[in-house]
Amino acid sequence: MSVRTEDMRNIGPVTAAWLHEVGIDTPADLRRLGSAEAYRRVKAWRPWDVTLMLLWALEGALIEEDWMDVPPGRRLELRREVGA
């Protein structure tokens, strides 16, 4: 059985649905794009729903850490990358 995006850490059913809406259907898709690009795509599609917490959650999913444990330096890099 393959791992689904919603099986990744920090990714619940709502976030998985948002990712699916923008064509990010698998963990491999998320890894290929990276957290910043995935965030930009979802933010462009759902600007009223998305906050920086999604960016931290996506990064945490990729590094297999809780979103609150994404290091401050990495958070700053990501904010700069997405223009936030």
**Which tens digit of pLDDT belongs to each residue from 25-69?**
999 999 999 999 999 999 999 999 899 999 999 999 999 999 999
CA distance 81 to 11: 21
Give the model's pLDDT for residue 1.
Answer: 54
17: pLDDT strictly greater than 80: yes
Count the alpha carbons within 13 Å of 31 in the hemisphere toward its beta carbon: 10
Query: pLDDT value at position 15?
Result: 95
Instruction: Grade residue 74 by pLDDT with cuts at 50, 70 and 90.
Output: very high
* pLDDT band at residue 4 under the 50/70/90 scheme: confident
Q: By C-alpha distance, which of 22, 5, 16 is closest to 62?
A: 5
Residue 3 has pLDDT above 80, yes or no: no
Q: Walk me through the domains of the chain, giving residue ranges and CATH numbers.
A: 5-82 (1.10.150.20)
